[in-house]
Amino acid sequence: MYTGEAEMQARRKILAVLQDEGRRVLDAGRELANIHSALVLGDQAEVSRATDSLHLAINDVEAFRRALSRQLAELGSMMINREDLLRAAYTIEEVANYLESIAFRMTQLRYQTLKKTGLVDDLVVLLDLVVNVLSRMNETIRTLQFNSSKVNELIQLVERAEHEMDEKYRSCSAKAMKEIDDFKDLILVKDVLERIETVADLALECADLVMIISLGL
């Protein structure tokens, strides 16, 4: 087998793993939105189901990242953009870790306080935006397998989604500081909002790495 052919097969396999990792972090984002909806309704059974599904998705993300790391180590210098691939995989795993931390903190929120401020509906919008930005990031990753020339076009959609999240984050933060009197509640809500904003920043960072990877394909 020619070296070039071996590299192409290895590249396809590694990109498939990265794609699987992105898909599962998107699943985790969807379950995070489900957890919030269940907490609003007081549906503890659904909270438990969605939390279990979120943890399973996060475990899968870690497993895919480990698999990708092993494959890159085995290839040695065959892959010219191996460091960028590894950084992208670790960035996706970092997104997953933030989603897990947000889920835990949401279960500690006093939803009666949130309902009085209108932040319950704002969180619905923010978490929908989380799913949107992760979906855009995932589309960018998938494009590496089929049409890497479209990556730049898709990154613009990630940037737009991140900007939309940033604006919503700022308006929610301002509302929280104005409407929430209890200091402990305010600190926890601000922590949740900041972590949600970080997810968007990491999604954009991953998309930028995908652009760099596409240039080496």
193 in Cβ contact with 169 (< 8 Å): yes
Structure-model confidence comparison of residues 217 and 210, the more confident one = 210
Helix pair angle (183-215, 119-146), 10° resolution: 10
The pLDDT tens digits of the residues spanning 94-150 come to 999 999 999 999 999 999 888 889 899 999 999 999 999 999 999 999 998 887 778
Give the Cα separation of 123 and 121 in Å (integer): 5
Whether the per-residue pLDDT at 45 is higher than 70: the answer is: yes
CATH class, 3-215 region: mainly alpha
Residue 2 scores a pLDDT above 50: no
pTM: 0.92
Q: DSSP code of 25?
A: H
Neighbours of 157 (CB within 10 A): 17
Q: Is the dihedral of CA 112, 117, 118, 124 positive or negative?
A: negative
Q: How far apart are CA 121 and CA 115, in angstroms?
A: 8
Identify the burial level of 37 via C-beta atoms within 10 angstroms of its C-beta, where 0-12 means exposed, 13-18 middle and 19 or more buried.
middle
Domain boundaries, the chain: 3-215
Are residues 121 and 104 in contact, defined by beta-carbon separation less than 8 angstroms?
no
